[in-house]
A and B are shown apart, each in its own frame.
Chain A
């Protein structure tokens, strides 16, 4: 490629300070050296390689502590002002392997949702959990599909399938065969959207070691293969008060971070797909000799690829800036940022998937051959997209949008 990726897919760099840029650069070096330069062996021995590269990122580079407060031994990226930096880091990781980025996004979201600071009881609990010299794998249980045989409490229409019952000084968590958004089989910590006995949304942080946490069989899923998933049952899981975060706001903040960070993950994967398809279209010939990208029809497909990725990156940058403003004096209201995050999250997943889908059209069998890696990005982004939908495709997000913009009162 004649131009660097950063030059092609412009981002609003003024949002990122020097320290953030240093981390981004470090991660980029890890991406280039540890994964992109060794991609075929990386895929050939994926399970072992994934674990090692993930460990390297979290422990050797130290990203496990990235969003912990400085007081808790972290890098201090525990404020909304760091949203642009976090998005930039995840774009880099997503370029290498969306599965690693996905787990990082869940980790950052879990910590940030907890308050990410030992001054609050929940933040203190989570900070301690992550202040260890071993990788801590998170999983997330979000509101989604309900079933006919049970009326559940709702988060803006989506069923909340876990519930807390207050008992003495403890809360007891129940939930049967609930589907996490990936990583259920390997998680050390579950971040669970649940309800209290009054039906109000809560977030519970549950150690996988807690008595009563049961996992089902490992699921075979489309992508994010390293994030092995399984249904989870919470059978009378006793939780201390500091493991519970109260308020619908907490759930909205959770989505806000998820939309930003998983959007950045997919943008990163799509940017690597762009590199792959650039190489393909520049070296393959059609019609008996002309370079593929010089053909006007192929060029228009390639333009679609670039356009979708460029727009997705702009959207992620804008969302990051919006979230960063939440810490300032003219902080936008949470409802506004939540709604925008849902809109952007949905659009970015759609756009990046469309970019890959279209680019694959030009690659023929190389598009679906494992060795070209395009298909992995395609499966990974699709998996993230479906996870984020929760249930009902884009309808829940559209309802959120209509609710905010048109003062809709129904769920």
Chain B
């Protein structure tokens, strides 16, 4: 083992652009994030340290990566048209997650609602052109959010297979050529004051399970009636701001609905695989950093006056950790490839139960391994384990959040059971 890059992944699947993307992001991580990340927890509210790093990554005076999904003719990089979009997403998540998974999620969630209008085969040119200047021409980091969770339902909204959106309380009413939106959302990444564009799942008929009544509508943050609360204080993930979001008689043009009746429900289901693959990428990146820290510690610290790694029992532990990182990385890229096969004859559509069940299953597995291995690694460090100076404890706090989000572990288990056992009532 020479470096973190030697952890296996299916090389046959890797994008030709991988090396370039990875080196650019890693240089940014090493320069703008690594030296400051131990101070991020205290910066959760102000983002005085965090924001400049985002600017250098996302804004056009920096790397400009926030425009990557937009078509080239609209000023973007055209990644939405790439056959490797998922695999590149996994790479990005991994590289940023190595330093700070919260930065990874805040940045990548900006893409999340935009995938519904920018990724083949669902490109909505009119909306793409509408929002392209916001992302492709700005000298500031611009954040978007997918405002799903509601106070009464928790992860119900993500459980479309069973509930079909019937618990959604945020309403959209068509009034001539505008939608009037009312509702309250909780916890979206990139709220708490930073969000500038929201993808808002709504219902046009409360209580309905008809996919035609599900609407996904874009709402710019500066429209009258949109209110963002302040950020919540959390156990970790300081770079990701979450808060309350209220819509009170918010009026947006009718064509801000992403695709229309039926299709909105389909593309909403297609959003989930992106989140699952990115989650695995974040986790694997964090695990690779775990390996870096652990390697140094077990090579220089002793038990019984011998290096920790030379003790057979401790070697058994750290060997298992490295083995799990290896397996999880392979799984994450396999998951990404499931997404990238969506348009292939041998693939499945992103909204299919195959893709959802398999990716939820993989994400659940990777999260479980991460939760166990980070906890175990902290114990290997012993009295140094809780020290932020060793970085593992921050990842430990952050990756638990990844396990809990998007419906958490139990929803993953239900999706897997439904698919693999043909369960009818779960």
Contact = CB atoms under 8 A, between A and B. Distances in A.
Which of B167, B382, B384, B405 counts the most A-chain CB atoms under 10 A from its CB? B382
Nearest to B302: A146
Interface in B383-401: 383-389, 393, 396-397, 400-401
Interface string B307-319: 1100101100100
Contact of A391 (B381, B393, B413): B381
Interface in B289-304: 299-304
A395 B383 contact: no
A301 interface: yes
B404 A287 contact: no
Interface string A372-411: 0001001100110111011111111011000000000001
A58 to B, nearest CB: 24
Contacts of A221: 386-388, 393
B224 interface: no
A287 B313 contact: no
A399 B301 CA distance: 18
Interface stretch (B124-132, B176-184, B234-242, B342-350): B234-242
Given A152-B305, A297-B413, A386 B159 contact: no
Interface stretch (A121-129, A163-171, A234-242, A363-371): A363-371
B41 interface: yes
Nearest to A398: B313
Contacts of A297: 410, 413-414
Contacts of A157: 303-304
Interface residues of B, number: 64
B301 A145 contact: yes
Nearest to A178: B383
Which of B154, B317, B389 counts the most A-chain CB atoms under 10 A from its CB? B154
Contact of B235 (A145, A147, A219, A379): A379
B46 to A, nearest CB: 17
Which of A144, A145, A158 counts the most B-chain CB atoms under 10 A from its CB? A145
B396 A382 contact: yes
Interface stretch (A95-103, A311-319, A353-361): A353-361
A382 B378 contact: yes
Given A365-B187, A386-B378, A387-B386, A158 B303 contact: yes
B404 A367 contact: yes
A144 B313 contact: no
Contacts of B305: 146, 151-152, 154, 159
Nearest to B166: A288
Given A369-B233, A395-B311, A386 B382 contact: yes
A386 B304 contact: no
A223 B317 CA distance: 24
Given A361-B403, A365-B404, A368-B400, A386 B379 contact: yes
Contact of A148 (B41, B302, B313): B302
A327 interface: no
B380 interface: yes
Nearest to B407: A364
A222 B393 contact: yes
A179 interface: yes
Interface string A178-194: 01110000000000000
Nearest to A368: B235
Contacts of A301: 410
Nearest to A384: B386
Interface string B154-167: 11100100110011
Contacts of B154: 284, 286, 364
Interface in A273-293: 284-288
A375 B234 contact: yes
B382 A387 contact: yes
A287 B163 contact: yes
Which of A159, A363, A389 counts the most B-chain CB atoms under 10 A from its CB? A389
A56 interface: no
Given A145-B383, A148-B300, A387-B383, A392 B404 contact: no
11 contacts: A152-B305, A180-B383, A286-B156, A288-B162, A364-B404, A364-B407, A378-B400, A382-B396, A385-B379, A392-B308, A395-B314
Interface of A: 142, 144-148, 151-152, 154, 157-159, 179-181, 219-224, 284-288, 297-298, 301, 353, 357, 360-365, 367-371, 375, 378-379, 382-383, 385-387, 389-396, 398-399, 411
- Of all A-B residue pairs in the complex, the 3 with the closest CB atoms, nearest first, are A386-B385, A391-B382, A393-B379
